[in-house]
Structure 1
Amino acid sequence: MDLSEELQTATWRKATKSASNQGNCLEIAPLSGGRVALRDTEALEKAPFVVSATVWDAFIDGAKKGEFDF
């Protein structure tokens, strides 16, 4: 399956905190090969951003450590 097909059938999810929000959310979808797609619910007409498993793991690790906190 090519990436465009995979994105069309992807199962998107968002953080529980975002679930009650009407829009204004970032959604992710796991893809083959450990890749992860990200999209903004306010801009669904735009193509999702796809990252490798390595990039996703580094981001999650940094987020857990508070590296992106303002």
Structure 2
Amino acid sequence: MDKRENGMAADQLSGARWQKARASDALNDCVEVARLSENEFAVRNSRHPGGPALIYTKAEWDAFIDGAGKGEFDDMPV
């Protein structure tokens, strides 16, 4: 397995299968997510597919998804 670390070029994550939300717009204004392994997820900016990837453990990802589902980030300024 290749060495994965936060900030590495997303296009260097071998075997990553990127998925974007169905709600994404035609201008690719969205993020994409890839499951890298049983315990790793990556996130990248769809407008910069070779740009940096943020890598999260399954526990970190689960905590984020849980918080988002409960509306914990709904009051963030836009």
For structure 2, the 5+ residue unaligned runs are 5-11
TM-score by length of 1: 0.82
Q: How does 1:2-21 map to 2 (within 5 A)?
A: 2-3=2-3, 7-18=13-24, 20-21=25-26
Q: Distance in 2 between matches of 1:65 and 1:48?
A: 25
Q: Does 1:31 align with 2:29?
A: no
Helix, strand or coil at the partner of 1:55? helix
For structure 1, the 5+ residue unaligned runs are none
Q: Which has the higher helix share?
A: 1
Aligned-pair identity in percent equals: 41
Task: List structure 1 segments (4+ residues) > 2 angstroms apart after TM superposition.
Answer: none
Helix, strand or coil at the partner of 1:63? helix
Aligned counterpart in structure 1 of residue 55 of structure 2, from 35, 47, 50: 50
Q: Which amino acid aligns with 2:22?
A: T
Count of matched residue positions in the alignment of Structure 1 and Structure 2: 69
Aligned counterpart in structure 2 of residue 67 of structure 1, from 59, 65, 72: 72
TM-score by length of 2: 0.75
Q: Which amino acid aligns with 1:59?
A: F
